[in-house]
Amino acid sequence: MSRLPIEDVLPALGQALTGGPNVLLTAPPGAGKTTRVPLALLDAPWRQGKTIVMLEPRRLAARAAAHRMAASLKEPVGRTVGYRMRLDSKVGPETAIEVVTEGVLTRLLQDDPALSRYAIVLFDEFHERSLQADAGLALCLETQRLFRPDLRLLVMSATLDGGPIAALMGHAPVIVCEGRLFPVETRYLEQPPAGHLDAAVTQIVRRALAQDQGSLLVFLPGMADIRGVERKLLDAGLGPTVRIAPLHGDLPQAAQDAAIEPAPAGTRKVVLATSIAETSLTIDGVRVVIDAGRLRVPRFDPRSGLTRLETIRVTQDSAEQRRGRAGRTGPGICYRLWTEREQAALAPRRPPEILEADLAPLILDLAQWGTNDPAQLSWVTPPPTGSVAQAKELLTELGALSADGRLTEHGWRMAGLPVHPRLAHMLIAAIPLGLTELACDLAALLSERDLLRGHTASRHADLRLRLDVVHGRHDAAAGGAVDRSALQRVKRTADLWRRHLVRQAGGSKRETPDPDHAAGILLALAYPDRIAQRQAGDGGRYLLTNGRGALFAAPDPLAAEPYLVVADLDGGAQWARINLAAPISRGEIESLYGNRITQEESVSWDEKACAVRASRRRRLRALILSEEALSKPDDTSTAGALLQGIRETGLDVLAWTPELRQWQARIAFLRRFDGPDSDWPDVSDEALLRRLDEWLGPFVTGFTTLERVKRLDLAPPLHALLTWDQQRKLDRLAPTHLTVPSGSRLRIEYEQPDLPVLAVRLQEMFGCKETPRVADGRVPVMVHLLSPAKRPVQVTKDLASFWANAYQEVRKELRGRYPKHHWPEDPLTAQPTARTKKRT
């Protein structure tokens, strides 16, 4: 359809929804679609008294949208317009529009797959491509197909490429809204900022306050950056007319509302926000946006099962969303802390969350829905098979899924709790252990950001310290760095789950939590793959049951514990950084997971001791819980480990003699001489190492050390590589020695790649007319003729040619150097000799 202003879009939208169940609405920032569209649908005839539900990806935006719509109707929230989110809902019997957060929509679908109370589902800010929004759309399309052909779906987005979405929704009509965005001037840096981000941001904020009008909205990556910039601005003394207002999801509602509300007359606000303020929010009075150009995003690694937070460059679509915040209520200015050249290099948009998220909650939701294969649903972007497999493996380990992927009874109970499956399993498993109270506190702690702030949090990864704060014990141990609003949220969440679980447990008895004793046990229920064993050394390094390594980035008292359970770590490096953990004893591990502990007999090579080590091990996946020596290990395993040690050390460790090396060279010579079809075995060092089990294995049975192997006579095992007939032929074809005319029996060297070598003093060869040969006379030897001092004077494989052509020149030289020796003119008739003869 053509581009329309919002006033014309609303009737067009109503007409499109009357004619078909699905519509895609795209609009730039400032169009007002989040509040005006739901209100316009109140009078739609197809609504027939049913409720409009609108999905908002963020709690802050959901609450703000509900308040704006209610204010436009001059009503309190909870009458015509209400909202639902975890731990906070305001709806009533007259509520016709419900603004819900993502987890709530999934719960509505699970409780009533037909969504029988609802006429339409609105997906706001779908361009953010959150996991829950993608899943919600897939399930709603399934609801349309199976139960409710009359259910209407409206996808609303600011920057989305709508083609794939419209096609997925049955080629739904696309309505494009022009919006009412005022002009925004974009200002880039001439050079990339140098130094710390907070210093660069503070400088731009001060410049904008001096040069520009109106309040400022500053986009920063995370809360630590917000606190850093806030400190610098407060230290700068901006004056009583400038108020600094942080804005992020962990703030109390009153502080969030204060950041959104217009600044009092005669004052200006500097709102320091995360990406939470990119969409759905209108902060009155903002004329200037300062974009630091960074995002903090979670990324899940299915290979390790770990999620890490990464700071990345802002994408082009996010940058445009942020820029649009300056033009919502009037002309504005956007400062971008990067150059115009860098702008062109930004990625167009972030990948959908479904490609980078932990899919365990999604797979549990789908199993509750009745689908054990995500491919059975219609997705904008299908979930990656690797992440799906990892999620199913975890859910199976937690007992939520059976071997064939179906939801178990325990899985049904887990799915009924609005927490991550790990925590749901922990909460339910805590009931028979009598640890329900503590499990609720621990789950609430892990569901929130760390309630300790500053250096205290970085120096203490111990979750028991956080539990002490929650229970009102040792508050001073936290050094006063407790986030009081986070603490209140933890207590409120814990009480909610406690009431729910106490009912499941069949009683109301309160327990006395003992975090020192039980925190590790409960964590091990939630994180069986992150039970960790301390490794040797002083580095505070641990091995997890899943085979990954973890460490403390800074000195921490927990680093002395032999076993930990790690609840939170950064999985970005080869050794992940431990952020939150609690100790657990080996006995507690064995009590929890005794049925998963395997026993194995291990026979391996100890490189340091140069000996075979045989032991019996009790293992929990990658962790060796105990080990004891085996007195009588299996001979085959022992020989195999010993041979592996020889392979690692090399063949030179064996008792080679010059004769055996010559034997090896003689066979290699015959093999080369015969060519590719040779029957002679390959006895090179490389081949012998490959076939070590075959030729040496039978001779080292019972051996356990290299020292014993070094004393082994190698001749029998090596000679056994030849047949009896080959052994006879070897001596004939490649003799070890030749008898020369002087009567000396001299060794033949076969190591040279061309021909065997016979090194002999020239005088001992007098009278020898032809070159000596081997291999039944087929191969001449290379004769190295030596002086009386055994220095080479000539090399030849044609002795007759030497006597005829080169001998006289050699004779002249030797007569001068060795006058006491006999150098006859005719060497063929002279008497060969090995002795020194005086000239007469």
CATH topology of domain 3-177: Rossmann fold (3.40.50)
Residue 62: name the closest of 24, 25, 23, 91 by CA. Answer: 91
**What pLDDT, in 10s, does the model give residues 670-693?**
999 888 888 999 999 999 999 999
Better pLDDT: 597 or 510:
597
Residue 477: what pLDDT?
Answer: 47
Better pLDDT: 324 or 800:
800
> How far apart, in Å, are the Cα atoms of 803 and each of 590, 756, 762, 777, 821?
88, 21, 11, 21, 18
CATH topology of domain 184-355: Rossmann fold (3.40.50)
Residue 476: what pLDDT?
Answer: 47
CA 5 to chain centre: 46
**Under 8 Å between Cβ of 505 and 497:** no
Better pLDDT: 771 or 538:
771
Average pLDDT over the chain, rounded to an integer: 87
Task: Please report, rounded to a whole number, the percentage of residues in the chain having pLDDT higher than 90.
Answer: 50
Number of H helices, E strands in the chain: 30, 32
Task: Please report, rounded to a whole number, the percentage of residues in the chain having pLDDT higher than 70.
Answer: 92
Instruction: Average the pLDDT over each of 172-181, 229-238, 352-361, 618-627 and give the range with the smallest value.
Output: 172-181
In the predicted structure, residue 633 carries a pLDDT above the cut 90:
no
Render 668-681 in DSSP notation, one character per residue: HHHHHHH-TT--S-
**Under 8 Å between Cβ of 432 and 425:** no
**What pLDDT, in 10s, does the model give residues 111-157?**
999 999 999 999 988 888 889 899 999 999 999 999 999 999 999 88
- Residue type for position 223: M
User: By 3-state DSSP, what share of the chain in percent is helix, strand and coil, each rounded to 5?
Assistant: 40, 20, 35
DSSP-derived 3-state class of residue 158: coil
Residue 837: what pLDDT?
Answer: 57
**What pLDDT, in 10s, does the model give residues 348-378?**
888 898 998 899 999 999 999 999 899 999 9
Show Cβ contacts of residue 573 under 8 Å, excluding neighbours closer than 6 positions.
none
Whole-prediction pTM? 0.74
Residue 142: what pLDDT?
Answer: 94
What is the total residue count of the chain? 840
Residue 514: what pLDDT?
Answer: 60
Residue 414: what pLDDT?
Answer: 93
Residue 840: what pLDDT?
Answer: 45
What does the alpha-carbon distance between residue 579 and residue 458 come to, in Å, rounded to a whole number?
Answer: 8
Show Cβ contacts of residue 267 under 8 Å, excluding neighbours closer than 6 positions.
240, 241, 242, 243
- Residue type for position 810: V
What does the alpha-carbon distance between residue 305 and residue 120 come to, in Å, rounded to a whole number?
Answer: 37
Mean pLDDT of 179-194: 85
Q: Which residues pair with 417 in a beta bridge?
A: none
In the predicted structure, residue 836 carries a pLDDT above the cut 90:
no
Mean pLDDT of 338-349: 90
Torsion of Cα atoms, 249 then 253 then 255 then 259, to 10°: 70
DSSP code of 714? S
Residue 328: name the closest of 262, 254, 267 by CA. Answer: 262
603 — pLDDT class (breaks 50, 70, 90): confident
Show Cβ contacts of residue 553 under 8 Å, excluding neighbours closer than 6 positions.
577, 578
**What pLDDT, in 10s, does the model give residues 461-508?**
899 999 988 888 765 444 557 877 788 888 988 988 888 787 665 554
Instruction: Average the pLDDT over each of 230-234, 570-574, 627-631, 661-665 and give the range with the smallest value.
Output: 570-574
Residue 302: what pLDDT?
Answer: 63
In the predicted structure, residue 164 carries a pLDDT above the cut 90:
no
Residue 429: name the closest of 523, 293, 507 by CA. Answer: 523
Return the structure tokens found at 722.
Answer: 């030849």
DSSP code of 782? E
Q: Order of strands across the sheet with 215-219? A: 184-189, 332-339, 286-291, 215-219, 268-273, 242-247
What does the alpha-carbon distance between residue 14 and residue 16 come to, in Å, rounded to a whole number?
Answer: 5
Cβ–Cβ contacts within 10 Å for residue 235, how many?
Answer: 9
CA 70 to chain centre: 45
**What pLDDT, in 10s, does the model give residues 701-731?**
889 899 999 999 999 999 999 999 999 999 9
What does the alpha-carbon distance between residue 144 and residue 151 come to, in Å, rounded to a whole number?
Answer: 6
Mean pLDDT of 636-663: 91
**Under 8 Å between Cβ of 615 and 628:** yes
709 class by beta-carbon count within 10 Å (0-12 exposed, 13-18 middle, 19+ buried): buried
Asked if domains 3-177 and 184-355 share a fold, the reply is: yes
**What residues does each domain of the chain span?**
3-177, 184-355, 421-596, 599-718, 735-817
Residue 305: what pLDDT?
Answer: 61
What does the alpha-carbon distance between residue 692 and residue 695 come to, in Å, rounded to a whole number?
Answer: 6
In the predicted structure, residue 786 carries a pLDDT above the cut 50:
yes
Residue 307: what pLDDT?
Answer: 67
Q: Which residues pair with 531 in a beta bridge?
A: 565
What does the alpha-carbon distance between residue 215 and residue 270 come to, in Å, rounded to a whole number?
Answer: 6
State which H helix or E strand residue 264 sits in. none
Return the structure tokens found at 541.
Answer: 């390094």
Residue 628: what pLDDT?
Answer: 86
Residue 747: what pLDDT?
Answer: 95
In the predicted structure, residue 797 carries a pLDDT above the cut 70:
yes
Angle at 316 between CA 312 and CA 322, to 5 degrees: 90
Helix axes of 59-72 and 33-40: crossing angle, nearest 10 degrees: 50
Residue 627: what pLDDT?
Answer: 85
* Token pair 């004056």: residue: 239
Better pLDDT: 476 or 168:
168
In the predicted structure, residue 839 carries a pLDDT above the cut 60:
no
Mean pLDDT of 432-452: 88
Return the structure tokens found at 235.
Answer: 């230290």
Handedness of CA 502, 504, 506, 511 (dihedral sign): negative
> How far apart, in Å, are the Cα atoms of 183 and each of 285, 323, 326, 336, 337?
15, 10, 9, 16, 20
State which H helix or E strand residue 774 sits in. strand 773-774
Q: Which residues pair with 617 in a beta bridge?
A: 600, 627
Return the structure tokens found at 484.
Answer: 């009081």
CA 445 to chain centre: 24
264 — pLDDT class (breaks 50, 70, 90): confident
